[in-house]
Amino acid sequence: MSSPAVRWAGPRTLLLQLGDLDEVVALHARLAHSPLPGQVEVLAAAETVMLAFDTRAHALAAPAAVQRLGHAVDASAAGREITLDVVYDGEDLAEVGRLTGLGTDGVIAAHTGQAWTAAFGGFAPGFAYLHGDNESLAVPRRDTPRTAVPAGSVALAGPFAAIYPARSPGGWQLIGHTDAVMWDLDRERPALVRPGDIVRHRAVRAFVEVRDTAGDAPAAAPVAATEPTRASGTALTVLFPGLQSLVQDLGRPGLGDLGVPGSGAADTASARQANRLVGNTPGDAVIETLLGGLQVRAVGALVLALAGSAEAASITGPHGDRDVPPRAPFALHDGETLTLDDPGPGLRSYLAVRGGLAVAPVLGSRSTDTLSGIGPAPLAAGVSLPIGPAGNGHVVGNPEPASTGTPTDGALTLRVTSGPRADWFDDAALEALCDAPWTAGTQSNRIGVRLEAGDGQAPLKRTRSGELASEGTATGSLQVPPSGLPVLFLADHPVTGGYPVIAVVVPEDLPAAAQAAPGTAIRFQLVDPDTLTPQDTTEGTRP
């Protein structure tokens, strides 16, 4: 393995640039099987391996540790071999035959005649980029992407093949379809194909429906990702969810290879604070609600706390009416109703209940992921949320000040470090990023804050043309599409991206970024990744 180039994607995340895809696959397999100290995510892509760590110290130690790994891949890290039946009837089959010069029959023969290695995932849960023994089927994407590609479509693009796990937009060339279910949360292994697996395709004329018979082996029962929390008999009933209310915890990191975002609370500082106030563990599930309007009723006696943007709430019911202080524990008696009023500065409020929300976990987390749809459904009127039992360690806390910063002098300042693809921009781009305030756009959501240029501010310009091979993206990345208007990735962002990242917001400032309401002015301040002290944008940055 050649010595990988290191590109930093924030203080705790780095991209290792490898010489070729074989090196990417080998290094990824090694790190997935034998994680480095503090490693929380390893994600392969076309030319890079992204590594995320729990601390800056662990991240700084990673490059040297990678060099000591050697070239060998443990045999136990090898993937499975999977054969998929394919009906070759795709809309682009004839066009692929023309582009490759193989003709229709030649395309089928080339597709079925070689083994395909699942090199990496990331486009969507269950989507795997398959790399063949040769590149005889390398074709460009369609000039005009389709608005909807059916699930099970077998497709080609560049040197890769893939199967769409769900109906989605896409610009790959379609050559056939399979009835294989690529992603199923009811399976112990939700992704049928995972990085490192070997896939072979078998041509069939049609699919045969297989019915259960007495001689068939029983289907395996799905296995819960984690031990479900026992409910205590108490509950919260949602009377009105407001604009958007979701169940969130600290997310499901480590599943990026399957195309699953980390998700979790957008403002982790406020979610942790709400849990701390009622005596929960930091990772207990809470309600994240957008703006005001959430209305819930207690079933049994409960202890709750509000954090985040919530500044005013009220209780009505059989014990009389009263106001609720933010960031302090309070009682909600059986039959009483809690209503959140319009929030203060910010977007998101967090409601924690002593014992935590005991909804069923999905892939080890109770978070709702708005990008992939994984996790509990968004809350609706009539939904009853069971509450877990409060143990002896669930001691309520004292009132606290706000944990998330708010805009000062009319603007929210977010600290950034130079991004892994800052060299894709002209010399003045990083200075321009930090020079004038941007505005949080109206299309912002849990996936990202879409930034709009202020008066007299020009979009950011690149020095390089062409496409960037898809690579892992860290939460906080400022990705710059062709428009030149950055997008700040939040909790539900896609795990890979194809646009260059010019800078990355430091993890400590992401809670404040998640509270940036549309219209908020945002300034970026370049800082040293070790000390988080300001740097001159004309002097460059340390790794």
Identity of the amino acid at 477:
S
Number of helices (H), then strands (E), in the chain = 7, 33
Would the pLDDT of 109 be above 70? yes
- Compute the distance between CA of residue 2 and CA of residue 18 in angstroms, rounded to an integer: 7
Of the ranges 8-12, 259-263, 354-358, 406-410, which one carries the lowest mean pLDDT score?
A: 406-410
Of the ranges 20-29, 110-119, 332-341, which one carries the lowest mean pLDDT score?
A: 20-29
pTM (2 decimals)?
Answer: 0.89
69-90, pLDDT tens digit by residue?
Answer: 865 555 445 679 999 999 999 9
- Give the residue-averaged pLDDT of 185-194: 93
Retrieve residue 328's tokens. Answer: 């302090």
Identity of the amino acid at 59:
A
388-437, pLDDT tens digit by residue?
Answer: 998 776 788 888 988 887 776 678 999 999 999 999 998 789 899 998 89
Place of tokens 């062409």: 466
Retrieve residue 347's tokens. Answer: 């977007």
Strands 471-472 and 501-505: unpaired
- Compute the distance between CA of residue 154 and CA of residue 111 in angstroms, rounded to an integer: 10
The radius of gyration of the chain from alpha carbons, rounded to an integer in Å, stands at 25
Angle at 291 between CA 285 and CA 297, to 5 degrees: 55
70-104: b (≥16 Cβ within 10 Å) or e: eeebeeeeebeebebbbbbebebbebbbebbebee
- Compute the distance between CA of residue 313 and CA of residue 242 in angstroms, rounded to an integer: 13
Domain 81-203, CATH number (from 3.20.20.60, 3.10.20.30, 2.40.30.10, 2.40.100.10) = 2.40.100.10
pLDDT for position 244? 97
pLDDT for position 152? 97
- Compute the distance between CA of residue 384 and CA of residue 391 in angstroms, rounded to an integer: 22
Would the pLDDT of 172 be above 90? yes
Half-sphere exposure of residue 533: CA atoms within 13 angstroms, side-chain side: 1
- Compute the distance between CA of residue 403 and CA of residue 422 in angstroms, rounded to an integer: 31
Q: Which top CATH class is 411-526? A: mainly beta
- Compute the distance between CA of residue 272 and CA of residue 250 in angstroms, rounded to an integer: 9
- Whether the CA torsion 289, 292, 295, 296 is positive or negative: it is positive
370-394: b (≥16 Cβ within 10 Å) or e: bbbebbbeebeeebebbbbebeeeb
CB 302 within 8 A of CB 236: yes
Inter-CA distances, 29 with 42, 75, 77, 403, 473, Å? 9, 10, 6, 39, 19
192-229, pLDDT tens digit by residue?
Answer: 999 989 999 999 998 765 433 333 333 333 333 333 45
| Helix ranges (DSSP H) in 198-331 | 268-277
Strands (E), 343-480: 348-353, 384-386, 411-418, 438-440, 448-452, 471-472, 477-479
- Give the residue-averaged pLDDT of 496-514: 95
The confidence band for 541, taking pLDDT boundaries of 50, 70 and 90, is very low
pLDDT for position 72? 54
pLDDT for position 407? 73
Element (H, E) at 248: strand 244-248
- CATH annotation of 5-77: 3.30.1360.40
Do 81-203 and 411-526 fold alike per CATH? yes
Retrieve residue 183's tokens. Answer: 């992603």
User: Across the chain, what does the average pLDDT equal?
Assistant: 90
3-state secondary structure 517-539: CCCCEEEEEEECCCCCCECCCCC
Cα 313 to chain centroid distance, Å, stands at: 31
Retrieve residue 231's tokens. Answer: 């409910």
116 phi/psi in degrees, rounded to 5: -115, 125
Domain boundaries, the chain: 5-77, 81-203, 235-386, 411-526
